[in-house]
Amino acid sequence: MGFSALVASALCTFLLPLLLFLAAVRLWDLYCASGRDPSCPLPLPPGTMGLPFFGETLQMVLQRRKFLQMKRRKYGFIYKTHLFGRPTVRVMGAENVRHILLGEHRLVSVQWPASVRTILGSGCLSNLHNGQHKHRKKVIMQAFSRDALQHYVPVIQEEVSACLAQWLGAGPCLLVYPEVKRLMFRIAMRILLGFQPRQAGPDSEQQLVEAFEEMIRNLFSLPIDVPFSGLYRGLRARNIIHAKIEENIRAKMARKEPESGYKDALQLLMEHTQGNGEQLNMQELKESATELLFGGHETTASAATSLIAFLGLHHDVLQKVRKELQVKGLLSGPNQEKQLDMEVLEQLKYTGCVIKETLRLSPPVPGGFRIALKTLELNGYQIPKGWNVIYSICDTHDVADLFTDKDEFNPDRFMSPSPEDSSRFSFIPFGGGLRSCVGKEFAKVLLKIFTVELARSCDWQLLNGPPTMKTGPIVYPVDNLPAKFIGFSGQI
């Protein structure tokens, strides 16, 4: 073969595919730019749209925090990208986020990626709109009233105390994050669904925990339902969860009255449906129950794990928590094992500040998804109608001018005056506006009880030092936070 033939062969083999790829990328950029609304004089936000069809989804999924930090440094508080098959604008900063969250139903509406909508289902609270959302939220909120929370306190305390006793006998190394997830799963199953996972046996509980982990790993995936794809695996795991929940629903229907003496969230939903003379929609109930379990255990597990990490790294803060417990008669003596209640928990101001500071530095949910109902203007840019909008919780906390020494773990910053009172969109671990987290008061009570029991029962050492945190989609430690737990001596 002659030299010219070799050159031609090389061009066909390497150069032509490269040129075609570059042409495809250029056409993709032009296509994405054509989404700009010509009736609005403002430009699109800065940013890049990534590869054809895939956009920047793969980079975001693989790199998460590193990818997002790079974007923020390069483009600022508002930038465009292409994620999960949709043109998207990512927004951070208190004022920008306030504009989005207070524009619900007027400027924006909730719309999670297609994979999330498919796996969680159209009947769950996060996918409902307008009157349906308001109505369903009102029903569920009954399960998080102060009276209902009072019923939950002894159940939470019982589960946490039993779990910590096991940790103290676990030996020289315990992987904290998986253990906390199992604890929070049992609590959510008992309180939100009235289900007794211990009675079902350890194998059944472990199967459900593993199914949830598989479902959550694949919530944010490309919307391609073929064997072995992320969406396929997520749906398969969801079906296992739905089958177990349906068993529980049918048992409730046969039993009529709750065994626990209080009505859990699922019971309230069932009674509301039947009370209105509506036909009981099993699929919607299963979807609502799955969503409650997801919100009720994954996020609290993340926050509780971060609490253990921060208190393990800042012994002075742990000692201040213990001093507060001592003042309230909760640390030593005959009151050590006394039952907590809402009144006592509300008096633990510093402990509450420790939880707030944990949620500021390590919010379990990194942000939320919306869709622009019409072309809107934000800080000198346009967001075209139909584009996705992601508001970032973690970045908004990072850039808030309200907080000094942002990287420092300092619960005292929340003592007085409370920062969120003066600028409530600088601190948004539970979101905000009409779609703020329905279970936020439940989460606060659960985390406070967990902190109390942990502080008065255990001392611990983080075996790997400060953890590296990852988002997938909930924030968690890459190494599962190995630690050694010993009993607390009672001396501060």
436 confidence band (pLDDT: 50, 70, 90): confident
Report the candidate in 309, 357, 354 with the shortest Cα–Cα distance to residue 480.
309
Average confidence (pLDDT) over 13-41: 66
In this prediction, residues 261-275 reach a mean pLDDT of 74
Question: Could you give the CA distance from residue 445 to residue 448 in angstroms, rounded to a whole number?
Answer: 5
The residues near 417 (Cβ < 8 Å, ≥ 6 apart) are: none
Nearest Cα neighbor of 188 from 285, 286, 268, 291 is 291
287 has a pLDDT exceeding 90: no
If one counts every other C-beta atom within 10 angstroms of the C-beta of residue 4, the result is: 8
Of 42 and 226, the one with more pLDDT: 42
Q: How many domains does the chain have?
A: 1
What is residue 471's predicted lDDT score, i.e. its pLDDT? 83
Residue 2 inside a domain? The answer is no
Whole-number pLDDT of residue 294: 80
> b vs e for 80-99, b when ≥16 Cβ sit within 10 Å of the residue's Cβ?
bbbbbbbbbbbbbbbebbbb
Q: What is the pLDDT of residue 17?
A: 64
In sequence order, what DSSP letters do the residues of 133-201 get, joined into one string?
Answer: HHHHHHHHHGGGSHHHHHHHHHHHHHHHHHHHHHHHTS-S-EEHHHHHHHHHHHHHHHHHH---TTTT-
Q: How far is CA 422 from CA 144, 324, 404, 417, 426, in A?
A: 26, 26, 15, 8, 9
Domain that holds residue 142: 9-487
Q: Which of 26, 68, 70, 69 is nearest to 49 (CA)?
A: 26
Look at residue 5 in the predicted model and tell me its pLDDT. Answer: 63
Which tens digit of pLDDT belongs to each residue from 450-487? Answer: 999 999 999 999 999 999 998 877 899 999 999 999 99
Residue 421: per-residue pLDDT: 45
Tell me the two tokens of residue 232. 């396929």
Q: How confident is the model at residue 280 (pLDDT cuts 50, 70, 90)?
A: low
Query: What would the DSSP string read from start to end of 43-96?
Result: PPPSB---BTTTBTHHHHHHHTHHHHHHHHHHH-SEEEEEETTEEEEEE-SHHH
Of 177-186, 258-267, 385-394, the least confident: 258-267
- Which residues make Cβ contacts (< 8 Å) with residue 3, sequence separation at least 6? none
The pLDDT tens digits for 218-253 are 888 878 888 878 889 999 999 998 998 888 888 877
As a whole number, mean pLDDT of residues 51-76 equals 82
Q: How distant, in Å, are the alpha carbons of 213, 334, 408 from that of 480?
A: 14, 35, 22
Between CA 211 and CA 225 the distance in angstroms is 18
Cβ atoms 462, 349 nearer than 8 A: no
Q: Hey, what are 340's tokens?
A: 């907590």
**pTM attached to this predicted model:** 0.86
pLDDT tens digits along 169-220? 888 999 999 999 999 999 998 888 887 765 656 667 788 888 888 888 888 8
Binning pLDDT at 50, 70 and 90, where does residue 383 land? very high
Mean pLDDT estimate for the chain = 85
Q: Tell me, what's the pLDDT at 160?
A: 96
Q: What is the DSSP letter of 334?
A: G
The answer to the question of residue 3 being in a domain is: no
Q: For residues 139 and 276, is the Cβ–Cβ distance under 8 A? A: no
Where does the pLDDT of residue 8 fall: very low under 50, low under 70, confident under 90, or very high at 90 and above?
A: low
CB neighbour class for 304 (10 Å; exposed up to 12, middle 13-18, buried from 19)? buried
Q: Would you state the pLDDT for residue 171?
A: 83
Q: Is residue 1 part of a domain?
A: no
Predicted confidence at residue 51, as pLDDT, reads 79
Grade residue 22 by pLDDT with cuts at 50, 70 and 90: low
State residue 138's pLDDT score.
84
The DSSP letter of residue 488 is -
pLDDT at residue 334 tops 60: no
Tell me the CATH number at 269.
1.10.630.10
The span from the CA of 486 to the CA of 337, in Å, is 18
Residue 140 or residue 326, greater confidence:
326
Q: What is the DSSP letter of 376?
A: E
Q: What percent of the chain shows pLDDT beyond 90?
A: 42
Cα distances from 435 to residues 97, 105, 367, 446, in angstroms, run 13, 11, 12, 21
Helix (H, G, I), strand (E, B), or coil: what is residue 36?
Answer: coil
**The pLDDT of residue 467:** 94
Nearest to 88 by CA among 371, 421, 328: 371
4, part of any domain: no
